[in-house]
Amino acid sequence: MRYLLANRFTILLAVLLGFILIVPAVVEYMGTTTLMPWALSLIVLAILLATKDSNTLLHHPVITTIALAALITMWSCGCVFGLDTLNKVDGCIFTLLLLGSCRNILGTLAKRKHVNHETLTAAVSVYILFGLALSRIYWLLHIFDPNSFHIVIPQNATADQPDFLYYSFVVMTTVGFGDIVPVSKLARSITNVQAIMSVFYLAITISRLVSLYRSDEQGLESDQPLKSAP
């Protein structure tokens, strides 16, 4: 457990990158979404580990509650509320979990006095978690209002979660390929907010942490005693 806590943000980042790289390809080429609940559950577990207090070894109560609710709705068969309704509920709960974990990890970063490898990994994880959260928001917006986006997709295909995951990170990186275009005013507003926040996060938070990391590394090297010549 001590090893997991010491590397919790590295584990979270590895899980997030694995989800982004593997799941969309599996959904497209295997034509199945059965892997999605397993992958999302792994993200939930990684979030619970990352948001655990390393001093008290306690989980954040709010995030833990939302995580349990997300797991329940994720693995539910939908026989009570209906599959469509359950998907909407699950999307909302998982979005709250992602945004809540971003806030929690940022709070942890603010309390750190020194910047190390785990600090940088945590900052990058927040960036990806924010992108995942916004992808869920876009997907929910598409479900409630199919006319929110103009999407160029193959014939007889429908837009799914991986499509909006792709769109979210296209917005964050300000690439703008144009194959998915926000049409409604709400979709455009959310897109603008995400693009602005992403640019400022990279320019201010990440660059600042990298600068502090280099300063700490140089300070550690200068504190080491010099070896005497033979």
Give the model confidence (pLDDT) of 105-161 as tens digits: 998 888 877 888 899 999 999 999 999 999 999 999 998 998 999 998 776 567 788
Assigned domain for 56 exists:
yes
Assigned domain for 225 exists:
no
Assigned domain for 229 exists:
no
Assigned domain for 18 exists:
yes
Assigned domain for 223 exists:
no
Exposed/middle/buried for residue 168 (C-beta within 10 Å: 0-12, 13-18, 19+) = buried
Residues 9-33, mean pLDDT to the nearest whole number: 86
Assigned domain for 184 exists:
yes
* 176 dihedral zone (left: phi>0; alpha: psi -120 to 50; beta): left
Amino acid 81: pLDDT: 45
Q: Which residues are CB-contacts of 170 (< 8 A; sequence separation ≥ 6)? A: 176, 177, 180
Write the pLDDT tens digit of every residue in 36-61: 888 889 999 999 999 987 665 567 78
Assigned domain for 224 exists:
no
Amino acid 83: pLDDT: 60
Please give the residue range of the domain that contains residue 165.
2-217
Alpha carbon 91 to its chain centroid, in Å, reads 14
Closest alpha carbon to 194 in 150, 121, 151, 132: 132
Assigned domain for 32 exists:
yes
Sign, Cα dihedral of 118, 119, 125, 129 = positive
The encoded tokens of residue 197 equal 């926040």
How many domains, the chain? 1
Cα angle for residues 24, 129, 183 (degrees, 5° grid)? 70
